[in-house]
Structure 1
């Protein structure tokens, strides 16, 4: 099931970027489910396995022979993360990866303004697309249960109604730039002790 879900996401992203109509590539004019089945039938087991795990900290392999590109993710529910090294969390120390530091999601949610959430998401999507990212790892929707959680600021609060009201337009804004949003931390990320030790 995980392979199929990942190929679905890939097929959607490929439909935005595919340029070749050559028969060796997938038929991007076909309905989505047909594209998924076509991709799965053409992929080897090794290609499927490569697509469902990382090839670096923030990317997974594509299938070049089918015109499926690598997928590049970026962390940042409230600001696009600076680039990190291929297989480490250390900064890549690029000089062209500056980004906007948006207010934390708890601040965004406190506005109760879905139209602002859409613009917030749109701006994040623009920056992600500028950096050639396909998937934004955010927004964070875990319910805040304790102020002692070091990541509570990444979430939209402790009210599920408010979170659902704000998260949908945020995602729509991100995706208006052909960048997929990956909702994260659905639950159980409520407390941390000694995170870096």
Structure 2
């Protein structure tokens, strides 16, 4: 009489592989974000505030910084930079502003996502203060000036003479805690 083959070890291995694949898929987005932050790939800049303690302005060079803004097609806000282009010396701290207006009849919450072009220059574009570090809440008809303080690292390779900083503004009202939105609405802040 023949005994049935023992499939238990194979079943255990397949379950472990499936669990590992699920875990890898779950961790892929945060790992990609870390990789992009470290390498500057995909034009992503670090979401951490930079400091210019060691930066010394290189007065022999100038870099053109272009500012672009666009709302996501599903975002009804008006969104634009006050300044379209400036010349900076690497290491020099600059402050510019973006304007946002909520023309709707409802309170909305937005999040700006930056992108730097060329992508390799993202490693050298350092934001000290940026409206993109937190969500922006505007009541119906409200306008807001949003600051961006930055410097270009003096180690920026000579091949880069122009850097383009672009922000896309997304509606994240549904993804904001209802209590937070209600609190902002009640305090008028």
Greater RCO, CA 8 A, separation 6+:
2
Normalising by structure 2, what TM-score? 0.27
Pick the structure with more strand per residue: 2
Pick the structure with more helix per residue: 1
